[in-house]
Structure 1
Amino acid sequence: MTQGQGDALHFYPPDHPVSGAARALIIKGGITWDDVSPGSQQDILSGVGQAFAEAERLFLFRLTDALTPYEPLDQLFAIEKSHVAEAKKATKTIDPEPKSVGPTVGSVAEHYLKAHKPSWAPKTFKSREVRIGYLVDFLGAKKILSSVTAADVRAFSEGLLKFRNRNTSHVGKCFLEKQTDNVAHRISDTGSLESQKRQGYF
């Protein structure tokens, strides 16, 4: 029993919260406080007092950091360093930013075309299907719709104006392959494209 343990009875009188908690623990064991020897009472009070102090440190730590594993300062409650390291490593693997959730560009496009197909003429449906296909190809079918930005839309519009005309060779099927930096080989009806964009086709 250390000097600090020997002073425990003096520091924790019967009406002290630490003393009350220590006595409650003894009662749970089926004995009374008076059945415990003075030396054991000192040890119990000292241990409970240390637990109270460590709990307060933990509370203050969690006020500013809710995730980092807590390392007890009191060696009575210390855990192996390897366990702490593993816990910290696991914490760092958590994605700090929540991932976007919701319908994808591909699923929304599919639903849109399916919903309007009955009211569109076959030729109109085919035309809209191709145009919307460009958008899906550009953004990516699996991209979450809510994550699409104004910059994405601007980039798509600029890409449309770079489309090759149908008379040039090597016209690819994907959105990127349909573009060219050669102005002479681009579609000439840019006004039609702009009109279609304003109508919401792109």
Structure 2
Amino acid sequence: MSDHDSPADLDPAAAPAPGEEQDFLRVFLAQRERMEALVSRRVGCRATAADLIQDLFLRFWKRPMRQLDEPGTYLLRSARNLAIDHLRGEGKRNRSLDSLGPEHDGATASLETALQAGDELRLVEAALRGLPERTRHIFLLNRIHGRTYGEIARAMGLSQSAVEKHMMRALDTCKAALEATPDSRGATPGNDRR
């Protein structure tokens, strides 16, 4: 269980039956090291691999168990696919960030622009930390990991409408945080507007 999920978040109807639960845990724990190594090789970061494998565990844990002929092989294949999805999401995020960045003609961004971007990022991060955990998690799944509203809804056991409402709340919060300090956005270091 991660910091993002509480026992109340786990749907008791979707939790595995006790015997299936033990079988799943045994197989998962037996394959965990191999899955983390496989994912780590793909994404290039052991910490990210550990997080992704924990997410994989939660995905399986929250949905009804089904009998598999080769559960270990299935878990390894699922881990590999999760790593690929993660890399696709990272690529999509990097392309999005590139498109949001200032147009430049080969020159590096000015220090002032970089400082302003850093300030705005800190404002958005602070605003996101103030959101309820579920809303923040949905926002990050969509904006950082590139998941669609439908994918998030299925993974979290919510309706797509609920996911959309959480996203609107998160986006409104980010927008409000950026609009709350218009004076500081135009100011440069050492140039107070008093």
Q: TM-score, normalised by structure 2?
A: 0.23
The one of the two structures with greater contact order (alpha-carbon pairs below 8 A, sep at least 6) is 2
**Higher helix proportion, which one?**
2
Q: TM-score, normalised by structure 1?
A: 0.22
Greater Rg, structure 1 or structure 2?
A: 1
